[in-house]
Structure 1
């Protein structure tokens, strides 16, 4: 099969490699239709001499990608709720997605069937959508955002834009976004945010505080930076922090700042909440309600995946989500 192989720092090649085989009874094999570049994670392991220092902690060479969707072509004997021919989405897999075939272990990944009415572009992004949504649910399925919630989304890359849409779909009372860049700001507005504040504008903190109308109940960090001081300044007492961005610090070293400000500490739940999130996300996608087509800025064939990675890293002001066409089914 063909696959995108990262062989060195900013060196990716499309090569023929052995087709993977099912090794466990809980695994499924999918023929990948399309994938999506993760703007942050994929570049952290592509534009580096030491990919093993970042998730999924693999050394050169490796098959790139963890966001994709496809159709099951083989299923292990202990896979009961899915069958050959089902189109599926999931969260998550430790690489290997930018190839004609991918093995998913249903014991490790949360996997769901999704109907053919959902566009391939949307299905390709579902790994990120589900991964974002899982932080908005408790382990028992409670939805953190409701009609009484004022939500602050910090950062307007693809993750922040996805969170903007998810908050609106959860019927938040008010969704306020803070970010930079004309494309990102305009996209947040088009998705339906109640207010979008340019953090490069003079007096933006005053504008943000005014837009929140008394403070945020839910604060979502989609920046990958250090925005703890902004969280503590804008959150109400008891506000919940949703930490999606990959921060340059250990959260354990900063929890005291949140506690002092009266904010709830982040919950880093995994597959428990993903099971609730995947059902909710698939339901919204199949009903045509996700409305995320505007966050796609580029669609490229697999042999241009290197260009897509460079767009995400070097042309951030012009790039949002990049879809990679893997194969026709």
Structure 2
């Protein structure tokens, strides 16, 4: 029996502008680069030594635990990054890994081991990938049962089904593919200032296409708000615009109202406004960890280098659960299923998900 009940509890709105450290604008971070952390030669040597430890213990990458990847010298820097994620900016940026120095297995081992010191990996797609790839493999943009991350098209501001999404850059595109971040609180507060009724319209759930990743007992669409006010905190969730649009194909799904469409257009306009969006040119060896509940991310469309498959724009991605993460509103459970703080939560939880694995290379044509 499908879960079709939508709670009728009275909507609770933020009592006013949210403000706080997460409510930054692009100029704030352009003039103060405390959010960029850089790997020293000593840090890189420690990462390589931790790789050697994990290999000496005979561990496959997926079997490495945090204690199997010792980073005592990097502890302070990682703690500062987690503070940036949880309290300062809603994201952390680490720069300077010489990615072209390593074969794919070594680079993957470094990324996995470092990420374990940030959070706990969870499945990011129906293929059970704990670590996967963002690369154009030629997936048709109009395939409503696939995600858009394996295309070269623009990805409007959105959030993923995890506490933190991590990316590491291997290659950049010939043109485009620029990453951007935006503060959910800043956009919320500007909407509240300009059009409070439209801000409040996004506290009501939108109908979003699940793109074929359907948890047990659920519809192929979900109902989830952009903004929730929960325990005196703003919890954000930004669905991809394409997924809100493609949800209209389901005749049994509640329709997104005209007021909500107007509100969503204003929301995206503000997200894309240079006053609010921070554009960060990825460089090979850059790590980005984004707190999905308070910061949304996007990328521009891109063109890859012709006749050079080894130079294709390529990021590796990991989804992380934070045991000390935010308390989440019940609305998020429509996507996440489990939202309990202190547990491994989020990720793709569907009956036909494949066994957990790490993909060293992009998979075609089934990669998702």
TM norm structure 1: 0.34
TM norm structure 2: 0.31
Higher relative contact order (CA 8 A, sep 6+): 2
